[in-house]
Structure 1
């Protein structure tokens, strides 16, 4: 086990290598995530309603 001082130096050295996204990149990525969430939610609502209607029709046929 390395001593704590050396460990902190290595952590600091590695952290300095991190390349953070720009504000523009962050906004674009966040916008795309929101867009995909909306698209997925609309898709699942449509599929859910379609299955609900199909099951309802099948149950009505059995009466």
Structure 2
């Protein structure tokens, strides 16, 4: 691999950064909202599964008296 001077490296980095397609504010907000909704759904799902499994284990072990 060819050695590159620090100045050339900085120019290359700036050139690559200019090629990046950044998300708009609206796209970022939509993605954030989607993540929060999916995390909430997953949390509720695992809460319900945990409650059901806990009740089943307590019933099987006879601790639910």
What range describes the TM-score normalised by the shorter chain of this pair?
A: over 0.9
**Residues 1-63 of structure 1: pairs in structure 2 closer than 5 A:** 1-60=3-62
TM-score by length of 2: 0.90
TM-score by length of 1: 0.93
Alignment length (residue pairs): 61
Question: Mind listing any 5+ residue stretches in structure 2 that lack a counterpart?
Answer: none
Q: Deviations over 1:22-56 (max 9, x none)?
A: 11101100000000000000000000001000000
Structure 1 segments, 4+ long, off by >3 Å, are none
Higher relative CO (Cα under 8 Å, sequence separation at least 6) belongs to: 2
